[in-house]
Each structure stands twice: as C-alpha cells, then as structure tokens.
Chain A
Amino acid sequence: AQKVTQAQTEISVVEKEDVTLDCVYETRDTTYYLFWYKQPPSGELVFLIRRNSFDEQNEISGRYSWNFQKSTSSFNFTITASQVVDSAVYFCALSETSNTGKLIFGQGTTLQVKP
C-alpha cells in the first residue's frame, strides 16, 4: 500500500535557524511523483515542488532545498535561515501512477518560527 509518513508533528525554531522537515514514503510503483505543499495560517494549500522518481537530483529554490533519496524512500525539505513567514503546516504527498489524480498526503508538520 502507498503511504506517506511525516513523523515530526510540530517543530519550533528561532528565526534564522535552518530546519529540515522529514518525509518518508512507501510505494510499490517504479514510477511515482512526490510533492510538497505549504499551508499557511490563512488555510490555502500552496504548491512548492514536484519530483518524479527518476530524478534524484537535489533541488534548491532560494532558501528552500529538497533532498530526494530513493535508497531510503525519503524526500526531505530544508529551509535555510528560517523566517517568521515560513510558519505553516507543510505536507508531503505521493501521486499514484494509476492516474486518478489522487495525492496521498502525509499527516503534515506544523512549523513555528519564532522571532
């Protein structure tokens, strides 16, 4: 069965600290896609990144970076020099290749960045 686990329920850091959000997934498919979404206090879901299973290159976008490791079935997200505006719930998700448009979400990690 496909599953996404975000073991960290809540993380609290002080501004400018680096923080890593963990994501571990399970799937029997050889082709799959991984996503990260951000849910700020206003409640909407904001797309951050999509990764396919054949591309293990790490990605960096400004202060955000993602580390995809198939060997450990992990897709971790690091925020460098965190800011108060990074406070949000972050979801990792896995897309089934059955092509139903279904995303399997982790439980979410609540990140609080204190000034």
Chain B
Amino acid sequence: EAQVTQNPRYLITVTGKKLTVTCSQNMNHEYMSWYRQDPGLGLRQIYYSMNVEVTDKGDVPEGYKVSRKEKRNFPLILESPSPNQTSLYFCASSDRGITEAFFGQGTRLTVV
C-alpha cells in the first residue's frame, strides 16, 4: 500500500529537549516536504527536498532542520524546541512538484 508514515503521532516534550520526527515514504517519490498546521493559518511549508541531499527552506524554517540521506526518509529535527513550535506537523511526498501530494497521518507536538 502506498503510504507516508510519520512517527510519533503524538509527542509532548519540554522546552530545549532535542527531538526528531521521522517520515518515510514507499512510493519512490523524489519530492518531500514538511508542513505545520496552525488554526486559522492552514498549512505552511517548513522545508522541502527535491531529491537525496537536496533540501531547502520553505516559508517557516526557523527552529527546524531536515536531512535527506535516503530517498525514502525525510526526518524533521527540532534542536531546541520552544512552545511556539507546538503544532500539528505533516510530512508529504509527491512524484513531481506539481502532482498530487500524499500526506502522512500527522504528528501532534506539544512543547511545554
């Protein structure tokens, strides 16, 4: 089954404690992105990757890091989380930049 898998689904952490949200896709897609969803703002792109070792900033990259060492994986790293990073996060992949994006189940992160 074609899917994008994120882990964990829920995470509560404390300010400053480094965390990683994993994302994996099994569709051999080149494009992968991370978005955060906040009430009234829709989804906003954090980082994207067009292929292995190719990543770039989206609209709200501050406080986040990503890596793309393998085509299927695109982890999101918060080196020092802060409460304003409390949000719902989605990983997405697509075959090309303009085709349908497949989304993971979402990760609800709370930073206290």
Contacts and interface: CB of A to CB of B under 8 A. Distances in A.
Contact of B41 (A33, A43, A50, A107): A107
Interface in B62-112: 88, 90, 92, 94, 96-103, 105-106, 108
A6 B42 CA distance: 10
Decide if the interface of chain B is mainly helix, strand, loop or mixed. Answer: strand
Interface stretch (A59-67, A68-76, A94-102): A94-102
Given A91-B43, A107-B41, A99 B96 contact: yes
Please report whether the interface of chain A is mostly helix, strand, loop or mixed according to DSSP: loop
Contacts of B105: 43-44
Given A43-B105, A43-B106, A107-B40, A101 B100 contact: no
A50 B95 CA distance: 14
A102 B56 CA distance: 11
Contact of B98 (A44, A47, A97, A106): A97
B91 to A, nearest CB: 11
A99 B41 CA distance: 23
Contacts of B101: 35, 47, 101, 103
A61 to B, nearest CB: 14
Contacts of A77: none
Nearest to B108: A43
Contact of A105 (B43, B48, B97, B108): B43
A98 to B, nearest CB: 8
A101 B103 contact: no
Interface in B1-49: 31-33, 35, 40-45, 48
A108 B42 CA distance: 6
B40 A103 contact: no
